[in-house]
Amino acid sequence: MTIFRLKQLASTSFHAAAGVMQWNYDRAELIADGVVHIVGICFGLVAATALIVLTAVYATAADIAAVSIYVAGLLAMLVLSATYNLWPVSRAKWVLRRFDHSAIYLLIAATYTPFIMQLKDSYFAIAVLIGVWCLAIVGIALKIARPGRYDRLATGLYLAMGWSGMMLYDAVVERLPALTLGLTLAGGLLYTSGVIFHAWQRLRFQNAIWHGFVLLGAACHYTAILDLIVLT
């Protein structure tokens, strides 16, 4: 296995942490991960365009705004993940890592937006949405300013943000269609299950498998939003 090392050059201008980040993937693993990312971007662009067009035709102005936020978060995650993971090992890769991890916070908050906009008459639902966006902003700030310092905390925060919508369970069950609810829960379970492979660094093709779970989770949430906004 070819072992790459990305040096985190300590500097006040880049706030880089001291030490070494290992990039332990052989050629086959890198190719597999590249295929997953390319497939994700291609399908993401087509799906995002279709969702925007259908929302513009069949939904309200508020729905268009909420879906636009979601689409921006989805595409940012897909593009930044591909850029970071496929970029050659260099100092620039360490910088890209910050934006890749930050995009996860953005996607979680953006995914919540169209769902909670359907519950906009609930002050508690709006408070949850505001709280999720505030946590996303804090998380992004930490990733940009203190890269590599709080990675374990960040993983826990991703999961906590992702499942915080369970606080709205009663209202969601009452207001959302059964298919939308099922797809939303399936997406959350896929994301959560994928974290196992994200942490299982000794497993070959671990990174490609993790990103495959991310795409499946994103596909479930995309379909849930399509069903909620356009098809119901």
pLDDT one-digit tens code per residue, 51-92: 999 999 999 999 999 999 999 999 999 999 999 999 998 889
Instruction: Flag residues of the chain having pLDDT under 50.
Output: 1-20
**Residue of 80, 96, 82, 79 whose CA lies nearest to 14:** 96
Residue 25's pLDDT is 87
Residue 172's pLDDT is 81
145 neighbors 15 (Cβ within 8 angstroms): yes
- C-alpha 113/C-alpha 17 separation (Å) is 34
**Residue ranges of the domains in the chain?**
28-231
Residue 58's pLDDT is 92
**What Rg value do the Cα atoms of the chain yield, rounded?**
18
Residue 138's pLDDT is 92
In DSSP terms, which residues pair with 5 in a beta bridge? 22
The CATH class of the 28-231 domain is mainly alpha
21 neighbors 5 (Cβ within 8 angstroms): yes
